[in-house]
Amino acid sequence: MGGLNITELQKNSNKWDKTVDQIVRMEKKIFPKHESLARSFDTELSKKNSGLLYILDSAADDNDNVAGYVMFSWPSSLSASITKLAVKEKYRRQGQGEALLRAAIEKCRARNVHRISLHVDPSRTAALNLYKKFGFQVDSLVEKYYSSDRDAYRMYLDFEVY
C-alpha cells in the first residue's frame, strides 16, 4: 500500500463534500442500516463538539481513497465518546484502526477529558481486542443496544487526573 496519512476533516474545507461522500459510502457498506450514520453524517459533523479523522491512501488509483475514519465527540469538558471507527476491508489488519484510535485518543486528551467511552458489539472480536489493547475496560453490557437481538459492551478509558 502507498502512503497512508491521518487527516482531520476541517469543516467547510474544499475536501468536505468528497470526503464525506466517501465516508457515507463506507458507512452504508460496513454497518447495518439501523447502525449507519449515513443519513445524518453532515449533521453529526456540523456539531461544534465533534471531530473526524480519516486515513487516505495517496497511492489509490481511483477517487475513492479514504481507507478508514474515526468519529468522536466531547459532550462535556470531562468526557468524550468514540462514535464510529471503520476501516475498509482491504486496509484491515495493517494498523490503520490502531492509528486512527490512537489519534482520536490524543485529540480527546488534548481537551483534558477524564474519560473516553464507546460501545462495541461483543461479537466484533477484532474491535473489542483493539479497544482492550488501548486500555479500554468493559463497563457493562447494554442489552438490545444495536437492535432487539444485538447487545453492546459499553467501554471506557479513564485518564489520571492530577
Listed by start position, the domains of the chain span: 4-158
Under a CB-based contact definition with an 8 Å cutoff, are residues 152 and 121 in contact?
yes
| Bridge partner residues of 135 (DSSP) | none
Model confidence over 23-49: pLDDT tens digits?
888 888 877 776 666 566 666 777 778
Write the pLDDT tens digit of every residue in 87-136: 998 888 889 999 999 999 999 888 888 999 999 999 999 999 999 999 99
Query: Of 18, 25, 16, which is closest to residue 45 (Cα–Cα)?
Result: 16
Side-chain half-sphere exposure of 156, counting CA atoms within 13 A: 11
CATH label, 4-158, candidates 3.10.20.600, 3.40.630.30, 1.50.10.10, 3.30.365.10: 3.40.630.30
C-alpha to C-alpha distance for 81 and 117, rounded to whole angstroms = 5
